[in-house]
Amino acid sequence: MNAPVSTHDVSLMPLPAGVSLGSGRLAVTGALRVFLRGHDDARLRAGISRALCRLEERTGLAFARRPDSEYAFAENAATATCVIDCAASGSPVPILGEDESYALEISSTQATLRAPTVLGALHGLETLLQLLRSDAGGWYLPEAKIDDRPRFPWRGLMIDVVRHWQPLDVIKRNLNGMALVKLNVLHLHLTDDQGFRIESKTCPRLHELGSDGHYFTHEQIREIIAYAAERGIRVVPEFDIPGHATSWLVGHPELASAPGPYGIERGRGIFDPVLDPTNPKVYEILEKFLGEMAALFPDAYLHIGGDENNGVHWSANPGIQAFIREHRLQDNAGLHAHFNGRIHKILAQHGKQLVGWDEILHPSLPAGSVVHSWRGAAGVAEATRHGFACIRSNGYYINLSVPVSEHYLTDPMPSDIPLAAAQEKLVLGGEATMWSEWVTPEIIDSRIWPRTAAIAERFWSPREASDVADMYRRLQIISRRLEEAGLRHESYVDPALRRFAGDTATPADLAALRMVTDLLEPVTLDPRNETQKHIDLLAPLAGLVDCARSDNPAARAFADLVDTALTVKSASAADLAALTQQLTGWKAAAILLATGLCERSPRLNEALPLIQALVAASEVGLEAVEALGAKRMLAAGWRETQLAKLAAAAVPHVAAELAVIAALQQLVAAAAVGSAPAQPGSCS
């Protein structure tokens, strides 16, 4: 136990707190049976049933069933392949801070899973499934001892279902994914300027006029909550107020701080419309609406947003400014705090704790509120210094399209601001945030997964787990599991590219297009917002950039190859040959497209500069590899010329860019050093 948490023998994600592997193996065959030794309930049985079903699909084995089609359990522990010993149910709908630990012991004759609650047992089943292996001898579980518990109790994924509507099936398959990597909070961002995505029975104009008909009904919300609870996941709703509130005002312009009329927002950004905290009607409607939502969502926490209220309409409204003066609220921030105080009271009446983004932090914020920090580590330090519990999302914005290693190496605890022990206890965990400006239901999985698995590890595993290369290795394995659980982050690409390429694309064109696409990545959020401003939220998202993915394994594999080749003073002939083969392949694919399909496909034609950039970049790479191999003297200025070509090839087009420029720069630098006349024998 407590063996090193990162080893090539363990491909688990998240890494357990303690793990040791032995050399024995427990065979997994069609005769596999489970025995329930301790607590027994429907949620546990459903979890076991799902696990067995997934095991069947992976192995092709069929386990015995009862006449009613349920899996047959072992009659006693002695005849069981797997004994599950669960002490108690835990809360049927999960609550913050429950014991989620489990212990797993696998010998060559039996696996035993012990857990104090069903939550722990569910986590243990996921670990068990991740341990499954095979070879010519068949399927088996390795001998192992695992003792595991989460580092943080709040491990979330936020999905913005507003900017682009994400229906029930998207939510369900993402809940499947969350369960696989032991995330336990689904945060639903339900209202914003661009839509009011939840049915209100008390104030129906909200969803009727604010949603284009795209919203969750109460029944669907109950379905989501039940589905999540079955998987050990809490559901925390967010209703963003007082800003980000345009969609509230479409049906209720009387609540606004400036004259209407209001229409659903179709663009991205920060907008002026904001509720008027001086208007009693605002609290009347919020009392009704929040009361309704408090009854609908069982979780003890309710998120009220509170971010990015720019104050423009408040400042322009003399009545509101007079209110601020009369009530000595000092400024717009004071008014916002006053508003939050009133909302806090409403929530307290319903037994709910208030959660809000960074901006709610104010001297008058009521105790017990939770600050959701999105702007930086300082927010976490500041909130906890004032005694507020805190969730961190800064560093986990998966919609930014930055390498997942950046997220992985961000700890919920600020790394450069020391926290007192009391403050550390207030850091509940973190949430990955999927803002949906650039994702349709088709694309969203690829922006969340598999990358969020690495963030889930950050929230679950010991702080010491920080081997980036091993994280990337394990990410590719968990990625398979996530697809098997119904996510489509990988499988959406080929159909989307086929549609993008159009009917004149041949199989060779499509193979080349896939190869090229796998070397691209989306530009990060700000440049995308800037260069694709003309694409509003109603326009289709079906371009090349939507098929390109951050941290693409193909681009990473090339970078690894370059690293390997350059770690020794003189790159091996085999490494150089492998690099030449890849670069030659890229160049050929790009030329095929540039001189063929681009002429026939109007959409690919728009991306022609990117394809030409790949030709140029491949040529630079080939020249560098050739120089490295021949160890020949390079002309003066060669390095600069090549780097300039790479800089030109690095320019984004249609919101995508080549993901292999850095590796190529390394190659050029190495070739230039290798050709320096100071090195004897380097001239050919």
Strands 133-135 and 111-117 turn out to be unpaired
Q: Applying CB under 8 A, does 536 fall inside the site for a second copy?
A: yes
Residue in 378, 402, 417, 477 binding a second copy, rule: CB under 8 A: 477
Q: Applying CB under 8 A, does 542 fall inside the site for a second copy?
A: yes
Query: Could you give the 3-state DSSP secondary structure of residue 431?
Result: strand
CB of 545 to a second copy, least distance (A): 11
Measured CA to CA, the distance from residue 516 to residue 585 in angstroms comes to 10
Residue in 67, 318, 351, 677 binding a second copy, rule: CB under 8 A: 67
Nearer to a second copy, 216 or 301 (CB): 216
Set 208, 223, 308, 490: catalytic member: 308
Query: Total number of residues binding a second copy (CB under 8 A)?
Result: 54
Contact 421, 458 (CB under 8 A): no
Contact 356, 371 (CB under 8 A): yes
Residue in 342, 386, 600, 632 binding a second copy, rule: CB under 8 A: 600
Nearer to a second copy, 96 or 607 (CB): 607
Measured CA to CA, the distance from residue 518 to residue 514 in angstroms comes to 6
How close are the terminal C-alpha atoms of the chain, in Å? 56
Name residue, tokens 């149910």.
89
DSSP H or E segment with residue 41: none
Nearer to a second copy, 67 or 363 (CB): 67
Q: Applying CB under 8 A, does 543 fall inside the site for a second copy?
A: yes
Nearer to a second copy, 132 or 378 (CB): 132
**DSSP codes of every residue in 455-467:** HHHHHHS-TT---
Residue in 62, 568, 574, 678 binding a second copy, rule: CB under 8 A: 62
Measured CA to CA, the distance from residue 430 to residue 389 in angstroms comes to 11
Q: Applying CB under 8 A, does 7 fall inside the site for a second copy?
A: no
Name residue, tokens 């009704």.
288
Residue in 58, 218, 288, 632 binding a second copy, rule: CB under 8 A: 58
Contact 347, 290 (CB under 8 A): yes
Residue in 491, 506, 572, 684 binding a second copy, rule: CB under 8 A: 491
Nearer to a second copy, 56 or 99 (CB): 56
Amino acid letter for position 559 = A
Nearer to a second copy, 441 or 462 (CB): 441
Residue in 439, 535, 565, 566 binding a second copy, rule: CB under 8 A: 535
CB of 11 to a second copy, least distance (A): 8
Measured CA to CA, the distance from residue 660 to residue 620 in angstroms comes to 12
Pick from 181, 174, 125, 128: nearest CA to 150: 181
* Only segment of 57-65, 355-363, 364-372, 673-681 that touches a second copy (CB under 8 A): 57-65
Residue in 147, 212, 560, 626 binding a second copy, rule: CB under 8 A: 212
Q: Applying CB under 8 A, does 326 fall inside the site for a second copy?
A: no
Query: Could you give the 3-state DSSP secondary structure of residue 532?
Result: coil
Q: Applying CB under 8 A, does 494 fall inside the site for a second copy?
A: yes
Q: Applying CB under 8 A, does 574 fall inside the site for a second copy?
A: no
Nearer to a second copy, 141 or 282 (CB): 141
Pick from 254, 273, 255: nearest CA to 265: 273
CB of 341 to a second copy, least distance (A): 36
Pick from 522, 652, 515, 497: nearest CA to 584: 515
Q: Applying CB under 8 A, does 560 fall inside the site for a second copy?
A: no
In this structure, how many other beta carbons lie within 10 angstroms of the beta carbon of residue 483? 17
Nearer to a second copy, 264 or 625 (CB): 264
CB of 363 to a second copy, least distance (A): 42
Residue in 8, 23, 97, 136 binding a second copy, rule: CB under 8 A: 136
CB of 117 to a second copy, least distance (A): 26
CB of 477 to a second copy, least distance (A): 6
Pick from 138, 364, 332: nearest CA to 243: 332
Assign 3-class secondary structure to 93-126.
CCCCCCCCCEEEEECCCCEEEEEEEHHHHHHHHH
* Only segment of 90-98, 155-163, 263-271, 274-282 that touches a second copy (CB under 8 A): 263-271
Judge whether 490 counts as a catalytic residue: no
* Only segment of 136-144, 185-193, 288-296, 346-354 that touches a second copy (CB under 8 A): 136-144
Q: Applying CB under 8 A, does 585 fall inside the site for a second copy?
A: no
At residue 586, φ and ψ (nearest 5 deg) are -60, -45
Q: Which residues of 111-142 are buried (b: 16+ CB within 10 A; e: fewer)?
A: bbbbbbbbbbbbbbbbbbbbbbeeeeeebbbb
Q: Applying CB under 8 A, does 484 fall inside the site for a second copy?
A: yes
Q: Applying CB under 8 A, does 226 fall inside the site for a second copy?
A: no
Question: Which residues, numbered 168-207, are part of the site for a second copy (CB under 8 A)?
Answer: 169
Residue in 22, 138, 319, 368 binding a second copy, rule: CB under 8 A: 138
Nearer to a second copy, 182 or 474 (CB): 474
Assign 3-class secondary structure to 592-630.
HHHHHHHHHCHHHHHCHHHHHHHHHHHHHHHHHHHHHHH
**Alpha-carbon distances, residue 600 vs 223, 247, 499, 511, 597 (angstroms):** 47, 42, 14, 16, 5
Nearer to a second copy, 22 or 263 (CB): 263
Chain Cα centroid distance, residue 641: 39
Question: Which residues, numbered 333-392, are part of the site for a second copy (CB under 8 A)?
Answer: none
* Only segment of 106-114, 262-270, 324-332, 618-626 that touches a second copy (CB under 8 A): 262-270
CB of 170 to a second copy, least distance (A): 12
Angle CA 127–132–138, to nearest 5: 165
Residue in 57, 75, 284, 530 binding a second copy, rule: CB under 8 A: 57
Pick from 320, 319, 300, 302: nearest CA to 311: 320
Nearer to a second copy, 131 or 157 (CB): 131
Annotated catalytic residues are 308
Binding site for a second copy (CB under 8 A): 11, 53, 56-62, 65, 67-69, 133-139, 169, 212, 263-264, 266, 477, 480, 483-484, 490-492, 494-495, 498-500, 502-504, 535-536, 538-540, 542-543, 598-603, 605
